[in-house]
Amino acid sequence: MFGSMFGTDSSAQIKEMIQNGAVIVDVRTPGEFAGGNVAGSVNFPLQNIAEKVDELKALGKPLVLCCASGNRSGQATAYLKAQGVECENGGGWMQVNALV
């Protein structure tokens, strides 16, 4: 259960998405993001996701979302999927970083 909730049992799928050009979106705060992040990732804090849906859709690629633990990125993934955005929860940014 926790594997799918935090993205750990779908690491092969996440890795394939990244290899195929998915955009890595980190939903942590700007301060957290500045303290370390996946190279090439973009920062869209969770509290701003609702107002950034059009901007995220305009990227024109699937999204892999990450945060510190997978909780916030899970929330963002559920919201964005409901808005028609192709995305998956990658879990913690360090997990995603290991797949890059």
Question: Measured in Å, how far apart are the chain's first and last C-alpha atoms?
Answer: 25
Q: Tell me, yes or no, if 67 is annotated catalytic.
A: yes
Residue 50: other Cβ atoms inside 10 A: 11
**Both tokens assigned to 80:** 């964005």
Q: Looking at 14, 38, 66, 67, which residue is catalytic?
A: 67
Q: How far apart are CA 34 and CA 30, in angstroms?
A: 6
Active-site residue numbers? 67
